[in-house]
Amino acid sequence: MSGSVAADLLAQLAAIQVILPLLAAPVCVLTGRGGRAWAVALVVSWCAFLTAWGLLSQVLDQGVIRYELGGWAAPWGIEYRIDEINSFVLLIVSGVSSLALIFARTSVAREVPEEKRSLFYCAWMLCLTGLLGITITGDAFNVFVFLEISSLSTYVLVSLGSHRRALVSAFRYLVLGTVGATFILIGVGLLYAMTGTLNMVDLAERIPPVSQTRTVYAAFAFLAVGIGLKMALFPFHAWLPGAYAEAPSAVTAFIAGASTKVAVYVLLRFYFTVFGASFAFGELRFELFLMPLALICILIMSLIAVYQNDIKRTLAYSSLAQIGYMVLGISLVSVAGLTGGIVHLFNHALMKSALFMSLGCVFYRVGSISLASLEGLGRRMPWTLGAFVVGALSLVGVPMTVGFVSKWYLIFAAIDRGWWPLAVFVVLTSLIALAYVWRVVEVAYFRTAREGSAQAEAVEAPVLMLVPLWMLVAASVYFGLDTSLTVGVAERAAETLLGSGR
């Protein structure tokens, strides 16, 4: 009997992936206390991570998993459809959430008042539900529903930041996020009007006969701008620095690693699977929309990052630039380029979460993360700043870190197409990254703190914060050396995405 129970459970993995965190959200509220809510969230998040791991290995073994929700057959019912690309993103999202939750315990205890903590973890669970749901579903309207779940909970999480400015940032994010979601809804609605279906695979089959209509063109444009807003591509980026900088440290580590990645995934899904590569890129030349924005995004955001005094803002602008790199990889529309973009999804999640966590440690001890407050911390908090240095090296793309692997594939893809000013561009902008992280290293290691300042008395951060931080750092070195998992999956995903359009 037990064997068949396990087999039943295994067959329901796809549903468990989303239901578990969804159910955990009200449980968090019911516990009423921060510590218990945290424990619930942590356990559920790790379960979600194991589930994602199980799904990924199942996909790698047996190919695409299709799961019909409630037994309603597609295209009428909602179908979960899991292939290489979204199982990979599921793994990233649940992994970052699990590590950030370990980190959150101590960090949140300082930044969020006790009476709000159970609600905080409830919002976190909802956000996780939303992000996993967007990724796993094979239904275009379902994407919108989960997008709203994750966005609304993210607004709440951002607004819990320790300054009152957090409220303004959350409101700005709310307005822009809603506009983006609305555009996506309009896009999906227009497609539904033309095809009468919402199932993605079904859409992919039914769009070609009607593809030369203005309605489909309009859907194309609405989705492009809507998703652009969600993933903060230039010029739709302006909400992001405020939201990242003002959110509680643990939340920044989570959403920086997970939520924009999911938006990039949505872009891949709609334009490669639903519209199909040959229509979106072959006919409508979507890359001509993406690539200029990506290039401007990388250059301008990197330069702005150099001059920020709030290091969280520096990293937020750097995240914008990194999204530019991912989009750049996608806009090359080749297996190598897509591989670079997808592998950068993973790699950037590792390094940016690690960097934001190490700033969280600094904030925990010093109470500020302006450049000046980092003076002399290299000696006082060696583990925290050591992790920052490794993450920073990875951001620059130094060999033996994950950042190098992504840049390698991007440069390779650019040269492969014969566009090698683009390769030079990638290398030069990496140098700008060196400039903005070097400022931190210089202040932390080569200046001494003023007498009597908070940083002169700071001690090393608590172990519970350092453990997830160093797990990420170790991963960002490990996956810089052993690329068989990340690049292997990304390559297969890229081939699937390109293949599905032909």
- Site of interaction with other proteins (CB under 8 A): 171-172, 175-176, 179-180, 183, 214, 217-218, 220-222, 224-225, 228-229, 235-236, 238-239, 242, 284, 289, 300, 303-304, 306-309, 398-400, 405, 408, 411-412, 415-416, 420, 423-424, 427, 431, 434, 446, 483, 487
Judge if the upstream peptide bond of residue 75 is cis by omega within 30 degrees of 0: yes
Dihedral over Cα of 281, 286, 287, 290: its sign: negative
Q: Are 200 and 185 contacting, i.e. CB atoms less than 8 angstroms apart?
A: no
Considering the complex, what minimum distance in angstroms separates the CB of residue 116 from other proteins? Answer: 25
Considering the complex, what minimum distance in angstroms separates the CB of residue 290 from other proteins? Answer: 11
Nearest CB to other proteins, comparing residues 105 and 230:
230
Nearest CB to other proteins, comparing residues 380 and 407:
407
Residue closest to 134 by CA, chosen among 226, 243, 12: 226
Nearest CB to other proteins, comparing residues 10 and 210:
210
In angstroms, the Cα distances linking 268 to 228, 260, 454 are 12, 13, 46
Instruction: Give bridge partners of residue 80 from the DSSP assignment.
Output: 67, 137
Considering the complex, what minimum distance in angstroms separates the CB of residue 18 from other proteins? Answer: 29
Nearest CB to other proteins, comparing residues 88 and 317:
317
Nearest CB to other proteins, comparing residues 53 and 171:
171
Considering the complex, what minimum distance in angstroms separates the CB of residue 398 from other proteins? Answer: 8
Considering the complex, what minimum distance in angstroms separates the CB of residue 288 from other proteins? Answer: 9
E strands in 69-206: 79-82
Count of CB atoms situated within 10 Å of the CB of 6: 10
Q: Residue 290 and residue 284: Cα distance in Å, rounded?
A: 12
Considering the complex, what minimum distance in angstroms separates the CB of residue 415 from other proteins? Answer: 4
Residue closest to 497 by CA, chosen among 356, 345, 317, 368: 345
Nearest CB to other proteins, comparing residues 72 and 420:
420
Instruction: For the chain, count helices (H), then strands (E).
Output: 22, 2
Considering the complex, what minimum distance in angstroms separates the CB of residue 266 from other proteins? Answer: 16
In angstroms, the Cα distances linking 489 to 53, 57, 88, 176, 483 are 13, 10, 7, 33, 10
Nearest CB to other proteins, comparing residues 152 and 405:
405
Q: Are 345 and 135 contacting, i.e. CB atoms less than 8 angstroms apart?
A: no
Considering the complex, what minimum distance in angstroms separates the CB of residue 382 from other proteins? Answer: 14
Q: What are phi and psi of 285, to 5 degrees?
A: 50, 55
Residue closest to 184 by CA, chosen among 234, 149, 221, 232: 221
Distance of CA 155 to the CA centre of its chain: 16
Nearest CB to other proteins, comparing residues 251 and 423:
423
* 253-266 as b/e: b if 16+ CB within 10 A: bbbbbbbbbbbbbb
Nearest CB to other proteins, comparing residues 65 and 303:
303
Considering the complex, what minimum distance in angstroms separates the CB of residue 263 from other proteins? Answer: 14
Tokens 């006919």 appear where? 283
Considering the complex, what minimum distance in angstroms separates the CB of residue 215 from other proteins? Answer: 11
Q: What are phi and psi of 241, to 5 degrees?
A: -55, -45
* Residue-wise DSSP of 161-210: SSSTHHHHHHHHHHHHHHHHHHHHHHHHHHHHHHHS--BHHHHHHHHHHH
The dihedral region occupied by 363, where left means phi > 0, alpha psi between -120 and 50, and beta the remainder, is alpha
Q: Are 403 and 395 contacting, i.e. CB atoms less than 8 angstroms apart?
A: yes
Nearest CB to other proteins, comparing residues 16 and 434:
434
Tokens 């019911």 appear where? 30
Nearest CB to other proteins, comparing residues 118 and 486:
486
E strands in 131-181: none
- Show Cβ contacts of residue 11 under 8 Å, excluding neighbours closer than 6 positions: none
Considering the complex, what minimum distance in angstroms separates the CB of residue 378 from other proteins? Answer: 14
Considering the complex, what minimum distance in angstroms separates the CB of residue 176 from other proteins? Answer: 6
Token digits of residue 452: 């009597």
Dihedral over Cα of 483, 57, 85, 495: its sign: positive
Nearest CB to other proteins, comparing residues 22 and 218:
218
Considering the complex, what minimum distance in angstroms separates the CB of residue 107 from other proteins? Answer: 25
Q: Hey, what amino acid is at 104?
A: A
Nearest CB to other proteins, comparing residues 201 and 267:
267
